[in-house]
Structure 1
Amino acid sequence: MVNADCHQWISQCGSNHLRPSSARTGCGRSSRAARDCPALTPPDDRPTRVCSPEHRQVHHFRLFGFRRKQMDQRGEQEEVTGMVCQEDDLKDGQMKEVTVEDKKVLLVRTQGQYSAVGSQCSHYNAPLIKGTLVGDRVRCPFHGACFNVKTGDIEEYPGLDCLPSYKVKVKDGKVYVTINKNFLKVTKRVKEMCSMAPDIKHTILLIGGGPAALVCAETLRQNCYQGQIIMITKDNLPPFDKPKLSKAMNVDSSSILLRPSEFFQQYGIDVWTQKEVVSVNTDDKKVKLSDGTLQNYDQLLISTGCRARPLSCPGSDLKGVKLLQSYEDAKEIHNSSLGQKAVVIGSSFIGMEVASYLSDKAASVAMVGSGRYPFERSLGPEIGKMSMQMLEEKNIKFYMNDRVTEIKGENGKVKAVVLKSGTVLEADVVIAGIGVIPNSDFMAGCKLEVDSQKAVIIDKFMRTNIPDVFSAGDVTSFPLAIRGDLRVNIGHWQMSQAQGRVAALNMLKKPTKFESVPFFWTVLAGKSIRYTGYGEGYTEIIFKGKVEERKFLAFYIKDDKVVAAASLMFDPAVAHVAELMTAGQILTKTQAQADDLSWLQM
Structure 2
Amino acid sequence: MIPNLALLAKTHPLVPSRVSVFVATSTRRTFALSSSSSPVQKSRTVCYGRVNQTSSCKPNFQFSRFGPDTHRFLSSGVQGAMGATQGKPESGDAAATASAVAAQPSANAVEAVVAKVGDLKDGEMKEVEVGSGKALLVYSGGEYSAIGHKCSHYGAPLIKGSLCNNRVRCPWHGACFNVKTGDIEDFPGLDSVPRFGVRIDGEDVVVIAEPSALANFRRTADMAEPKSDDARVFVIVGGGGAAMSAAESLRQEGFTGRILMFSKEDSLPYDRPKLSKALSSTAEALALRNADFFKQHGIEFAGGKEVVSVDAAASTVTFADGASQSYDKVLFATGGAPRACTCPGADLDGIHLLRTVPDGNTIAASVEGKHLVVVGSSFIGMEVAACLCSKAASVTVVGRSPIPFAAVLGEKIGLGIRKMHEDKGVKFQLGTTVTEFKGEGGHVTSAVLGNGQTLPADIVVCGLGVTPTTSYLKGVDGITFSAHGSVQVDSRMHAAGDIYVAGDIAHFPLPIANGHVTIGHWQLAARLGRAAAQGMLDKTAAGAPLDTVPFFWTQMFGKSLRYAGYGHGHDDIVVEGDPDELKFAAAYLKGDSVIAVAAMGMDPLVSRAADHLLAGTMPSAADVRANPASLLAA
Give TM-score scaled by structure 1 length.
0.86
Distance in 2, Cα, partners of 1:506 & 1:365: 46
Shift of 1:501: 0.6
| Matched residue type, 2:487 | V
Match of 1:398 among 428, 452, 461: 428
| Matched residue type, 1:384 | G
Distance in 2, Cα, partners of 1:57 & 1:406: 55
Aligned to 1:556, the other structure's residue is in SS state strand
| Residue pair 2:575, 2:628 contacting (<8 A) in 1 also | no
- Residue in 1 aligned with 2:532? 503
Match of 1:306 among 330, 336, 340: 336
| Matched residue type, 1:496 | A
| Matched residue type, 1:346 | G
| Residue pair 2:486, 2:507 contacting (<8 A) in 1 also | yes
- Residue in 2 aligned with 1:536? 568
Change (3 A) 1:193 1:110: same
Change (3 A) 1:391 1:274: same
| Residue pair 1:280, 1:445 contacting (<8 A) in 2 also | no
Distance in 2, Cα, partners of 1:151 & 1:452: 42
Distance in 1, Cα, partners of 2:372 & 2:578: 32
| Superposition map of 1:326-405 within 5 A | 326-405=356-435
Aligned pair 1:214/2:244, yes or no? Answer: yes
Aligned pair 1:580/2:612, yes or no? Answer: yes
Shift of 1:599: 9.7
| Superposition map of 1:290-305 within 5 A | 290-305=320-335
Shift of 1:598: 8.7
Shift of 1:534: 0.8
| Residue pair 2:415, 2:580 contacting (<8 A) in 1 also | no
Match of 1:289 among 308, 319, 324: 319
Shift of 1:57: 7.9
| Superposition map of 1:201-600 within 5 A | 201-447=231-477, 448-464=479-495, 466-485=496-515, 487-511=516-540, 512-593=544-625
Change (3 A) 1:133 1:594: farther
| Residue pair 1:347, 1:433 contacting (<8 A) in 2 also | yes
| Residue pair 1:457, 1:477 contacting (<8 A) in 2 also | yes
Shift of 1:585: 2.7
- Residue in 1 aligned with 2:138? 108
Aligned to 1:408, the other structure's residue is in SS state strand
Distance in 2, Cα, partners of 1:244 & 1:471: 24
Change (3 A) 1:413 1:287: same
Unaligned regions of 5+ residues in structure 2, if any?
1-23, 30-102
Aligned to 1:184, the other structure's residue is in SS state helix
Distance in 2, Cα, partners of 1:187 & 1:569: 25
Distance in 1, Cα, partners of 2:192 & 2:632: 25
| Residue pair 2:445, 2:458 contacting (<8 A) in 1 also | yes
Distance in 2, Cα, partners of 1:524 & 1:590: 33
Moved more, 439-448 or 414-423: 439-448
Shift of 1:559: 0.6
1:113-133 Cα shifts (integer Å, max 9, x gaps): 211110000001001111111
Aligned to 1:474, the other structure's residue is in SS state helix
Change (3 A) 1:468 1:330: same
Aligned to 1:200, the other structure's residue is in SS state coil
| Superposition map of 1:114-133 within 5 A | 114-133=144-163
1:45-67 Cα shifts (integer Å, max 9, x gaps): xxxxxxxx967689xxxxxxxxx
Q: How many residues align?
A: 534
| Residue pair 1:577, 1:600 contacting (<8 A) in 2 also | no
Moved more, 348-357 or 442-451: 442-451
| Residue pair 1:132, 1:601 contacting (<8 A) in 2 also | no
Change (3 A) 1:227 1:600: farther
Moved more, 499-508 or 582-591: 582-591
Match of 2:169 among 110, 114, 139: 139
Distance in 1, Cα, partners of 2:211 & 2:569: 53
| Superposition map of 1:153-168 within 5 A | 153-168=183-198
Distance in 2, Cα, partners of 1:336 & 1:161: 36
| Residue pair 2:127, 2:134 contacting (<8 A) in 1 also | yes
Moved more, 219-228 or 382-391: 219-228
| Matched residue type, 1:523 | Q
Give TM-score scaled by structure 2 length.
0.81
Distance in 2, Cα, partners of 1:282 & 1:598: 54
Change (3 A) 1:186 1:600: farther
Distance in 1, Cα, partners of 2:500 & 2:582: 42
Change (3 A) 1:437 1:120: same
| Residue pair 2:233, 2:260 contacting (<8 A) in 1 also | yes
- Structure with bigger RCO (C-alpha 8 Å, 6+ apart): 2
Shift of 1:462: 0.9
Unaligned regions of 5+ residues in structure 1, if any?
1-52, 59-70
The CA RMSD over aligned residues, in Å, is 2.1
Distance in 2, Cα, partners of 1:544 & 1:574: 14
Shift of 1:171: 2.0
1:28-86 Cα shifts (integer Å, max 9, x gaps): xxxxxxxxxxxxxxxxxxxxxxxxx967689xxxxxxxxxxxx9xx9952121112122
Distance in 2, Cα, partners of 1:489 & 1:181: 43
Distance in 2, Cα, partners of 1:75 & 1:232: 41
Distance in 1, Cα, partners of 2:513 & 2:628: 26
| Residue pair 2:417, 2:579 contacting (<8 A) in 1 also | no
Distance in 2, Cα, partners of 1:264 & 1:406: 46
Aligned to 1:574, the other structure's residue is in SS state helix
Moved more, 395-404 or 194-203: 194-203
Percent pairwise identity: 43
Match of 1:177 among 207, 211, 215: 207
Aligned to 1:386, the other structure's residue is in SS state helix
Distance in 2, Cα, partners of 1:562 & 1:153: 30
| Matched residue type, 2:433 | R
Distance in 2, Cα, partners of 1:444 & 1:515: 30
| Residue pair 1:154, 1:161 contacting (<8 A) in 2 also | yes
Distance in 1, Cα, partners of 2:600 & 2:132: 32
| Residue pair 2:282, 2:357 contacting (<8 A) in 1 also | no
Moved more, 541-550 or 297-306: 541-550
Shift of 1:181: 2.4
Give runs of ≥4 in structure 1 deviating > 3 Å.
Answer: 53-58, 593-602
Distance in 2, Cα, partners of 1:133 & 1:184: 21
| Superposition map of 1:18-57 within 5 A | none
Shift of 1:278: 1.2
Moved more, 510-519 or 354-363: 510-519
Shift of 1:600: 8.8
1:302-336 Cα shifts (integer Å, max 9, x gaps): 10000100111001100000000101001011011
1:117-175 Cα shifts (integer Å, max 9, x gaps): 10000001001111111121100011000001111010110010111011112223222
Change (3 A) 1:138 1:333: same
| Matched residue type, 1:503 | A
Distance in 1, Cα, partners of 2:560 & 2:367: 24
| Matched residue type, 2:212 | N
Shift of 1:435: 1.4
1:427-486 Cα shifts (integer Å, max 9, x gaps): 11000011111001122242322122211111222111x21111000011122210212x
Change (3 A) 1:356 1:55: closer
